[in-house]
């Protein structure tokens, strides 16, 4: 069982780009926590840009345990995820939760993040 788990959940299968994006996101969290000044686009759009590459890579990593190491997402899966996140965070949540605000530039960031995942991380 342990050999099977080790064979399927291999951290080395995650791309260096994923680790770079993760470090960028964690660095941004620390920067925000320290309340250091940030440019407006980093403050408002960096998290949205990094969201889908990180979420889809982690999701694919977990699904590979169940479906094998050759699992890839089709363009349809990525497009569905972009639409789902866009509708949830830009249309549905702002209606009911004041913490969320609707911004169409976020939809562009989700789309760009989906394209980054599909082109560079979906291997």
- Specify the pTM: 0.90
**Taking the domains of the chain in order of start, what are their residue ranges?**
2-121
Per-residue confidence (pLDDT) for residue 3, from 0 to 100: 56
Q: Which of 78, 114, 107, 77 is nearest to 90 (CA)?
A: 107
| More confident of the two residues 108 and 5 | 108
Q: Is the pLDDT of residue 92 over 60?
A: yes
Mean pLDDT rounded to a whole number for the chain = 92
- Residue indicated by tokens 């991380």: 121
- Please tell me the least confidently modeled range out of 15-29, 39-53, 56-70: 56-70
Enumerate helices (H) and strands (E) in the chain, giving the number of each: 6, 0
Kindly indicate the confidence band of residue 4, based on its pLDDT and cuts at 50, 70 and 90: low
Per-residue confidence (pLDDT) for residue 123, from 0 to 100: 86
Kindly indicate the confidence band of residue 28, based on its pLDDT and cuts at 50, 70 and 90: very high
Q: Average pLDDT for residues 12-32, to the nearest whole number?
A: 94
Angle between helices 40-67 and 16-33 (to 10 degrees): 140
């Amino acid at each position: 069982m342990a050999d099977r788990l080790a064979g399927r959940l291999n951290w080395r299968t995650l791309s260096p780009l994923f680790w770079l994006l993760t470090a960028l996101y964690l660095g941004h969290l620390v920067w925000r926590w320290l309340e250091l000044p940030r440019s407006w686009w980093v403050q408002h759009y960096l998290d949205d840009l990094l969201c889908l590459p990180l979420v889809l890579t982690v999701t694919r990593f977990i699904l590979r345990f169940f479906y094998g190491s050759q699992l890839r997402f089709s363009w349809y899966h990525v497009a569905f995820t972009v639409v789902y996140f866009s509708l949830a965070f830009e249309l549905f949540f702002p209606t009911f939760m004041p913490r969320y605000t609707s911004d169409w530039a976020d939809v562009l960031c989700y789309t760009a993040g989906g394209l980054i995942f599909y082109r560079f991380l979906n291997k």
